[in-house]
Chains A and B, each alone.
Chain A
C-alpha cells in the first residue's frame, strides 16, 4: 500500500522538475529595461496604489514614445501585488528580480513592506525607489545605497506639522492634546516624531492620551466618543488611506470637527477628491505632493493634463510621486550614460533632478529627495470639482529633514 505513495510522490517530484525546467526560459538580451512595480493592489493600500500604478504607466508610455531610456532602451513594466503583507512583498520582489530580471523596483505602499524589501534589493543589486511609503526607517537606519526615497519621510512631515501646530497653539492658547494613529509602522513613526518634535517646538503642550486603532479598522465610533470625552484642545491623527476615509466620515457624523480642531493630519488629494462633498471645510490638513501647489512648473502642468486625458481624473499625491520616481530613474540613467544599475545608483547619489515639484536633489547621506511637505486649509475652489488647500504653506525638504548628525548617531547602533 505504502509503495503507491512513494511512487506518486516521486511522480509529483519528477513532474515538478519538468514543469520548472520548462518555465525557466532563456535570458533576454539587455536591450529593454525591465522595470518592476511592487504595490498593494489589494488590501488597505489599494486606494493610493491604483493612482500610483496609473501614473507609472503614463510615464512609461511617454518615455517609450521617445524610444525608451536614453532613446534606445524601451521600458517593459512588471506590476506585482504585495497584498500589503511583508512576506508576500518579499516574495514578489524576488520574483521580479530573478524571473522578470528587473533592474529597479518602484513603489511600496506599506512601510513594513518597504523595509522588508530593502535588504533583498540590496542583496541582488537592484534599485529600489520608495514613492508612497515614507517611514524614515527606510533610509535612516540599516542604510542601503540602492534604496532612494522621493516622498517626504515621516520625520519631514511630522516636523512640518509640529512647526505649524506649535504656531497655531500659541495663537489659540491650546494646552492639551490627544493623538489617534493607525497601529502600524507608518502610523507609529509619524505619531512618535510628531510628539517629540512638538515637545521641542512647544514644551508646554501636554499629550493627554494616545489611541491606536488597528490597520483596517472600519468602525471608529468608540474611538470618536472616547476622544471627545477627553475634551482635548486639539487632536492629531495619523490614519491613512481607506481607514482615514472611514475615520473622517464617522467623526463628522459625531460633529467631531466642529467641536475639536484636527490640524495637520494627512488629507491627501485622494481624500479631497473622494470626500469632495462631505469633507469639513476649514480643516487644516497635510499632504505630500499636491499637484495644485506646482501648476506653475511646466512638467507638472503637462503631467496633470496628460493624466486627465488618459484617465479622466486628477492625479493624487501618490500619482505625482510615482511619476517623479520614473523620471528620477530616467535622469539617473541619462547621467550614468548606461542602464547598468551600479552606474545608475552611483550617478543618482546627490543628484539634482527635475521633478513635477520643481528642481530637487537627493541628499547624499540617506538618498532622501529634498521634497517639501504641504499644509493648508481645506476650501472650495472654482477651478476644481473638489476642495483644495488654500493658504498653502510649503515646508521645504532641507528645512524639515532630520539633521545628518542624528542619522549618523542612529546608524552607529545598527
Chain B
C-alpha cells in the first residue's frame, strides 16, 4: 500500500482546496471532477478496450436527463437519482453497445457517433417529455448541497468513490482481459474468452459511470439542455484523454484538470477558445503522442536510464520492485 500515499496527499489537497481558492474556482473544480469522471469512463473504452467512442456523451446526457427529470417532475431526492442515472445510462449503453461491439476501428467510432446523434435528436425532439431545446430548468440540489463548496465536497466524494470502483475493475482479471482484447482480440478468442460479451460488459460499465457524471452535472448547473448529448460534447472526453494520456489510469483526470482549467482561464480574456484548444490538441498529437503523462513518463525513463549508466548496476534491484 506504500505506493498509494501520493494519492492520499492528492485527496488531502482536494479537501483543503475550497479554503484556498475563490468561489469561481470552486465551480471550476466541480467541473474538473465531473468531466474528469466522464473522461475516465470514456477511457475504459478507449484506453483499456482500444476502441474510440465518439458518442460517449449520449450516456452522459441520458444520466443528466434521468436525474433532471426525476428531480423536476417527481421531486425524487438526489441520492436516489444518481443510481437511477447510472441504471438509465447503463440500459442505454446496453442497447447501443450490443450493436457497437460487433464493429471495430473506424466503424465503431462512426456507429457510436450515429447512436450519439440519434440520442441527441430524440431528446431534442421529444418536446413534451424533455422540454426539447429549452432543456430543463429548476434542478435545485437539496439545501445542504446548495452552496458551491458543499456541492464540491459531495462531488469529490462521489467521484472518488467511482474512481476507486473503476480502479478495482481495471486491476481485476476483467480489466486485464480488456487489455488483452485491446492487444490481440483473436488470440483472446482462442483462449476461450467471449470477446464480444466482455466488450459489451465493459461498454455498459463505462456508460453507467458516464451517466453518473451526467447526473452530477444537472444539480450543479441548475439546468440541463440537449447539447449535453451531441457530438461536440462527445469530443470533450476524447480531448481530455489525449491531452492527459490514455495509457495511465489518471491520464483522463489530469487531462480534465488541464482542459477545464485552461478553458476557464482562456475564456476570461478571449472568445477564441476553440482556436486555442485546437492548437493545443495539434501540438499534443504531433509532439506528445502519449499525452502529458506519457511525456513525463518518457522523461523519467530517460533520466533513470542516465542514472543507471552512472551508477551501473547499483539500482537495478530497485527498478524491479
A residues apposed to B, CB below 8 Å: 2-10, 12-14, 16-17, 19-21, 23-24, 41-42, 80-81, 85-87, 90-92, 94-95, 98-99, 111-112, 115-116, 118-120, 123, 137, 142, 183-185, 188, 214-215
Contacts and interface: CB of A to CB of B under 8 A. Distances in A.
A112 B133 contact: yes
A93 B53 CA distance: 31
Contact of A6 (B7, B125, B224, B251): B7
Contacts of A5: 248-251, 293
A8 B261 contact: no
A4 B300 contact: yes
A163 B138 CA distance: 34
11 contacts: A5-B250, A9-B250, A13-B13, A17-B17, A85-B225, A87-B227, A90-B221, A94-B27, A116-B221, A116-B223, A185-B134
B132 A184 contact: yes
B271 interface: yes
B223 A16 contact: no
B76 interface: no
Interface stretch (B18-26, B40-48, B97-105): B18-26
B278 to A, nearest CB: 14
Nearest to B251: A5
Contact of A86 (B7, B28, B227, B292): B227
Interface in B1-20: 3-4, 6-7, 9-10, 13-14, 17, 20
A10 B222 contact: no
Given A8-B292, A9-B10, A9-B250, 20 more contacts: A5-B251, A9-B7, A9-B253, A10-B9, A10-B10, A17-B21, A20-B25, A20-B28, A21-B20, A86-B227, A95-B24, A98-B22, A99-B22, A112-B133, A116-B221, A116-B223, A119-B222, A123-B222, A183-B125, A185-B133
A119 B223 contact: yes
A80 to B, nearest CB: 7
B200 interface: no
Interface of B: 3-4, 6-7, 9-10, 13-14, 17, 20-25, 27-28, 31, 124-125, 127, 132-135, 137-138, 140, 221-225, 227-228, 248-251, 253-254, 257-258, 261, 264-265, 267-268, 271, 292-293, 296-297, 300
B244 to A, nearest CB: 9
A142 B137 contact: yes
A35 B83 CA distance: 41
Contacts of A142: 137-138
Nearest to A184: B133
A13 B249 contact: no
A94 B6 CA distance: 33
Nearest to B25: A20
A123 to B, nearest CB: 8
Contacts of A41: 271
Contacts of A8: 250, 254, 292-293, 296-297
Nearest to B21: A20
B225 A112 contact: yes
Contacts of A183: 124-125, 132-133
**Among A24, A81, A86, A111, which residue has the most Cβ atoms of chain B within 10 A?**
A86
A99 B132 contact: no
Given A9-B6, A16-B257, A116 B225 contact: yes
Contacts of B21: 17, 20-21, 24
A24 B31 CA distance: 18
A90 B24 contact: no
A87 B127 CA distance: 19
Contacts of A21: 20-21
A286 to B, nearest CB: 22
A141 B33 CA distance: 33
Contacts of B300: 4
A8 B248 CA distance: 11
Contacts of A215: 133
A56 B83 CA distance: 46
**Among A8, A20, A112, A183, which residue has the most Cβ atoms of chain B within 10 A?**
A8
Contacts of A23: 25, 265
B274 to A, nearest CB: 8
Nearest to B271: A81
Contact of B135 (A91, A112, A123): A112
A12 B257 contact: yes
Contact of B254 (A2, A12, A92): A12
